[in-house]
């Protein structure tokens, strides 16, 4: 029995030694884990600081992106306004073409009146005495009508120039 007691005692001492050795290794391993966790915590703090710096550094880029987005909206509006302007210029061009046609008709009428005034002027030259004054007046009116005819021609030429310029603007997007 004494052997049994000694065997149980030795098993107990051996179990206690194995338990102690395991506990020691676990404490040692936990200490290493704690060191690594401290390093991880320090790295997290560093990463947090770097993240804050990065956010601050990217702030101007965010503002730039917002500005570019605003500019893109403005460009879209500009493109729409240019399209509307081109449509308006088309209407103006059509109106100018009508004006040119009407000025051409007026020029023809003016030429007809001028011819009739010249005929009257020629006929009045044949009259005597008091009709001499009338001839001068008719010639003056004839000269005025010729001047008006010249101005009408100039107006038509200027309208054609404007029409060409507007047609160039209509080609814009």
The pTM assigned to this predicted structure is 0.39
Report yes or no: 100 and 152 within 8 Å, Cβ to Cβ: no
Note the pLDDT tens digit of each residue in 57-69: 878 878 888 888 8
- CA separation, residue 23 to residues 12, 44, 96, 171 (Å): 16, 31, 103, 89
Three-state DSSP class for 171?
coil
Note the pLDDT tens digit of each residue in 14-41: 888 888 888 898 999 898 988 999 998 8
Q: Quick one: average pLDDT of 134-146?
A: 81
pLDDT for residue 2: 80
Q: Which residue has the higher pLDDT, 121 or 3?
A: 3
pLDDT interval class at 100 (50, 70, 90): confident
| Res 128 pLDDT > 80 | no
User: Of 43, 44, 155, 165, which Cα lies nearest the Cα of 102?
Assistant: 155
| Res 132 pLDDT > 80 | no
pLDDT for residue 130: 61
| Res 126 pLDDT > 80 | no
pLDDT for residue 35: 92
Lowest pLDDT segment from 62-66, 91-95, 104-108, 133-137: 133-137
């Amino acid at each position: 029995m004494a052997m049994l007691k000694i065997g149980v005692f030795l098993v107990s001492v051996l179990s206690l030694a194995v338990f102690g050795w395991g506990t020691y290794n676990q404490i040692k391993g936990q200490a290493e884990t704690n060191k690594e966790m401290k390093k991880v915590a320090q790295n997290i703090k560093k990463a947090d600081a770097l993240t804050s710096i990065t956010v601050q550094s990217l702030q101007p880029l965010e503002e730039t992106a917002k500005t570019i987005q605003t500019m893109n909206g403005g460009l879209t509006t500009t493109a729409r306004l240019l399209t509307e302007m081109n449509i308006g210029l088309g209407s103006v061009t059509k109106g100018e073409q009508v004006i040119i046609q009407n000025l051409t008709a007026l020029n023809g009428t003016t030429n007809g009146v001028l011819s009739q005034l010249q005929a009257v002027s020629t006929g009045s030259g044949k009259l005597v005495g008091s009709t001499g004054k009338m001839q001068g007046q008719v010639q003056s009116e004839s000269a005025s009508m010729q001047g008006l005819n010249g101005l009408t021609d100039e107006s038509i030429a200027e309208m054609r120039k404007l029409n060409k310029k507007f047609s160039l603007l209509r080609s814009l997007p």
